[in-house]
Structure 1
């Protein structure tokens, strides 16, 4: 599409405060002020999220939250759940709900688990080869879009969410689309036809897909340098907290750049910035001319939210050749008055910065959140917090993204988690003890916790208020496994030793994010998908009363 100018709304943070645009939308604000947060974790997270969504839908709990916030594999699942418009007739087909009764563990023999997945179900796309899709995208060219195009081919195309002939931009609803098209200067603009917009399905919570902006594309610094949150919604896209960030690696030394500061309507995000932004009162934000070269699409949001390899390529110089495939974005920081220059930035998986989508909810002061931690790290029952000091090794003892929320400074390859502290050390000790107790009991690892929120200037999170979190931690569940047929129990217990089994369940439920199965990238087998989704659904079914009371 050639460059055009459109009239788009721009929301500016004022004095480190930001009124989130969805608060103007009556249908959003009428929903209970609570969130479901689905972590990243590739196809493992997508399969677990499928089971959670299945259980939540059967229990009617999706209707009792305002937000869904998701990262990476969690965003694959929740974006499809929010937007799908083809491939499946309804939620019963899409989620493979079957009967109203929960999935009976006693029916999950290896043959039943390994049966062909039903067409039109979310599960059916988790078996598709991302490797093949990447090779196809490479052959087609367009370097920086390769990852996003491959992800779209696998996950979005079967459900009518990409179209090679037109841009499809997320939009809140038909009324919002019509208002956009009716603005002076937008009439007749290519790419603003009625069918260039896609809407959430009726009754869905407000979706926030979390990616991050890593660094200027020309720095070549081989490090995730103070990545900042990039939040993609049906109404707007942006990095909300105004910051100044020093980036290393410029040919002529370091550079300090203004970043963040607001949001732009989703359909207009991703191009050159306007010369000026005039915000005025946030309750009546005027429209602003915005040049667009590349339209924000669901393909962009879902692809960037899961582009974990991009940050790894930035961190490890030996992988520099991969940088040519890192998603990039023309980005301009939002400021009142004159707008700083537009630069091209690398964009990456939201898990480079924060893997749960929880901090985006705390920015909004959401008082209740259910956080699904779909990790590949089992709970270490012998772990004692701070036994080795504040910086004591936590890796392989508990999910690394969880510990950083409580000021336990840990990191892993390709991440920068240093700015994520929002809870106290004392609360962390209590949480670890509760998680370990639940794990020992053998049932769902579901822990409810009231937490005092600590101020976090990097994220723009206010302190001095309390929230309630229900942590749902992925783990082996002996109570559920005891209900399985013998052959399935054996396949889980034997793990890597079961090399001659027809349907392998090694590493269950903590499948590797990459290359769980030989010769693959992220795809899983029908047996692996069904087993994990069924267990996750059982967690919701077994915790239905507790979840219902929590969400009110």
Structure 2
């Protein structure tokens, strides 16, 4: 069956601008990547903004990886779940506790629909067990291994909030997603999915931009092309340096990863559509679609599972390596196999028993010992199969809007492996390609795991933003310099993919200062509690929230298709310790546990380990008290009168360009 979908060439109507709420200020909020830490920070940041009634003022949200976990759930939250269920309420630090009490928030408790439920279920042991089960269930169809992380995302991140809608397979959904019922009714062409098969954005939410990347192998290097998916459309706007991949625009979101059907009559149809559009001006109908329409076939819904999992695809290889580690340890392997066997359905066991007689002829005593058979297959998969890690990379059919029809199975990477703040995707999606673009204001939450500190007089801050200024930043030493020509050359052994995402002018001013240098110093000064222009006291670092406001101008970036000369106002806010908040905690047990977690320890799973810089891998699973504490710290930073960030952020948002 041939279906149809709208396409949006970059030279035409911008679907993000035209379908977002133009009555709102031209304001975007960015939530960076960083797994469960990023989700939990974003939870607190959303709570703080909601407490001040500020989040609804944003026109856009742009997110990466763990930030996408939070923002996708927030954006598509079903009506049966309230914002109070999802975000909870802000409690001052003196009212935080580890036990119940009048007027207290017991951090050990989570509402069943709290955003904290996602990291609470993401323990490494659970991910390894269910990941191992997935590998065994698909051992005879290993082309399905590319869905490993999609399966885990569907089960552990989206299911709790009713956003999974399990489809034909355990990793797929029965539902696509779009903007609204009115939008789909008015804009979808004939031959589009039924509105019953769609998740819609919750009313009043900002327009969501979710980020991942398309991979291109270039000799021994990998070039990544920024790709965005929104409630309306998905696609890459720019092109790779050698023009092998020319994104050129986007396709209706349900048509992403579809198969493009070649139509010999495309020229005739384009003439007919233009003729029909000319008639519409005098004979209007209820359907408002005048976009280019293409023929496609849909094999399975491109769902929230797909974009949320590819935005955080870093974890696919991570989980695969953890499974490999367990299988390499005899005791852990035995326990893992036992857990997998307990979850296997009878039909899978029967298939394994039947196939084992063919596959393991060399082992005469294997008999019908299902545990032994599972172990043998698991070992073959993760240890002996040298191509295993390649098999779990997410791949989708991709056809660029900007080229002749070209269906190609294409690999996708975690959005954060190229640009982890969400800034680049937001600029790309709101770019009109003109020289007189409207100023845009950005609130950027960099929810990093890199501590904000000073080493040997070098400040370590804003490392994730550095490439956007053309800067190669060393997060271990705080030293930095512009990317070299060798680093920007995909054919050179010194190539760095992040060298291609420069989007802000970083020219020195008359005093020899650069915008990026000012950002680094400004974040540090704010963390020390220093006022504007005041020399920071190093002994007070990590006292207050780290933030800095600056004005920027874009430079041309062909990789993301960003036009030069656009004015951007930004308030950049970085995850860091806030001892002002921490010292206000009166529950001694809670206060001590956080402090002990911040001390040096060889145990990566220790409660509050490295708070608030929870490790992206080892702290992918968070206890309720760990996630509650981090979210409440951020809600305090944004909405409490005693936080210096509150007034500046509130003023910035309320004065955002309209």
TM range (shorter): 0.7 to 0.9
Deviation at 1:116? 3.0
Match of 2:391 among 318, 324, 348: 324
Give, in whole Å, the separation in 2 of the partners of 1:296 and 1:492.
Answer: 41
User: Are 2:91 and 1:95 aligned?
Assistant: no
Distance 1:29 1:5 in 2: 35
Asked whether the equivalents of residues 491 and 498 of structure 1 are also in contact (C-alpha less than 8 Å), the reply is no
Consecutive unaligned residues of structure 1, counting only runs of 5 or more, are 187-191, 247-255, 386-393, 517-521
Give the Å deviation of 1:503.
7.6
CA contact (8 A) 2:545 2:637 kept: yes
Structure exhibiting the larger radius of gyration computed from Cα positions: 2
Q: How many residue pairs are counted as aligned between the two chains?
A: 501
SS at match of 1:259: coil
> Residues 519-538 of structure 1: matches in 2 within 5 Å?
522-538=620-636
Provide the residue aligned with 1:546 in structure 2: 648
Moved more, 280-289 or 132-141: 280-289
**2:453 aligned with 1:380, yes or no?**
yes
Q: Distance in 2 between matches of 1:57 and 1:414?
A: 42
What's 2:362 paired with? none
Alpha-carbon distance, 1:133 to partner: 3.8
Find the aligned partners of 2:211 and 2:474 in 1 and give their Cα distance: 19
Match of 1:509 in 2: 612
1:269 corresponds to: 256
What SS does the aligned partner of 1:537 have? helix
**Structure 2 counterpart SS, 1:470:** strand
Deviation sequence 1:297-321 (CA, Å, 0-9, x none): 111000000001468899xxx9852
Give distance in 2, aligned partners of 1:128 and 1:156. Answer: 11
Report the more deviating stretch, 527-536 or 440-449. Answer: 440-449
Partner of 2:303: 297
Q: Does 1:119 align with 2:182?
A: no
Instruction: Specify the alignment match of 2:195 in structure 1.
Output: 194
Q: Quote the residue 2:337 is aligned against.
A: none
- 1:465-476 alignment, distance < 5 Å: 465-476=566-577
SS at match of 1:334: coil
Relative to structure 1, is the Cα distance of residues 310 and 147 closer, same or farther in structure 2, using a 3 angstrom cutoff? closer
CA–CA distance in 1 between the matches of 2:227 and 2:137? 28
For the aligned residue pairs, the C-alpha RMSD in angstroms reads: 3.1
Is the partner of 1:401 in helix, strand or coil?
coil
The 1:147–1:382 alpha-carbon spacing in structure 2 relative to 1, beyond 3 Å, is: same
Match of 1:228 among 219, 225, 232: 225
> Where does residue 249 of structure 1 map in the other structure?
none
Distance change (3 Å), C-alpha of 1:462 and 1:479 = same
Change (3 A) 1:449 1:6: same
Give how far 1:509 is off. Answer: 0.3
What is the SS of the residue equivalent to 1:37?
Answer: strand
How far apart, CA to CA, are the structure 2 residues paired with 1:343 and 1:93?
Answer: 42
Residues 225-264 of structure 1 aligned to structure 2 (within 5 Å): 225-241=222-238, 243-246=239-242, 257-264=244-251
The answer to whether 1:357 aligns with 2:358 is no
The SS at the match of 1:230 is strand
- Classify the secondary structure of the residue corresponding to 1:438: helix
Q: Which runs of 5+ in 2 are unaligned?
A: 100-104, 139-143, 168-172, 278-288, 321-382, 432-438, 476-493, 508-513, 530-542
Question: Residues 197 and 269 (structure 1 numbering): CA distance in 2 closer, same or farther, change over 3 Å?
Answer: same
Per the alignment, residue 208 of structure 2 pairs with 207
Q: Does 1:398 align with 2:461?
A: yes
Per-residue CA deviation, residues 153-207 of structure 1 (Å, 9 max, x unaligned), is 11111111112245211111112322466x4445xxxxx2332101010000000
SS of equivalent to 2:412: strand
**Given that residues 527 and 547 in structure 2 are in contact (C-alpha distance below 8 angstroms), is that contact kept between their aligned partners in structure 1?**
no
Distance of aligned partners of 1:19 and 1:356 in 2 relative to their CA distance in 1, 3 Å threshold: farther
Which residue of 166, 176, 179 maps to 1:164? 166
1:519 aligned residue: none
Give the secondary-structure state (helix, strand or coil) at the position aligned to 1:149. Answer: helix
- Aligned position for 2:92: 104
Distance 1:478 1:145 in 2: 42
Could you say if the C-alpha distance between residues 510 and 285 of structure 1 is closer, same or farther in structure 2, counting changes exceeding 3 Å?
A: same
Of residues 489, 495, 502 in structure 2, which corresponds to 1:421?
502
Deviation track 1:456-487 (CA, whole Å, cap 9, x = no partner) reads 22221112232111111100011111101233
- Structure 1 residue 24 displacement after superposition: 2.7
Distance in 2, matches of 1:193 and 1:313, equals 36
Aligned to 1:464: 565
TM-score (norm 2): 0.70
Report the CA distance between 1:139 and its aligned residue: 3.8
- Residue 28 of structure 1 corresponds to 21
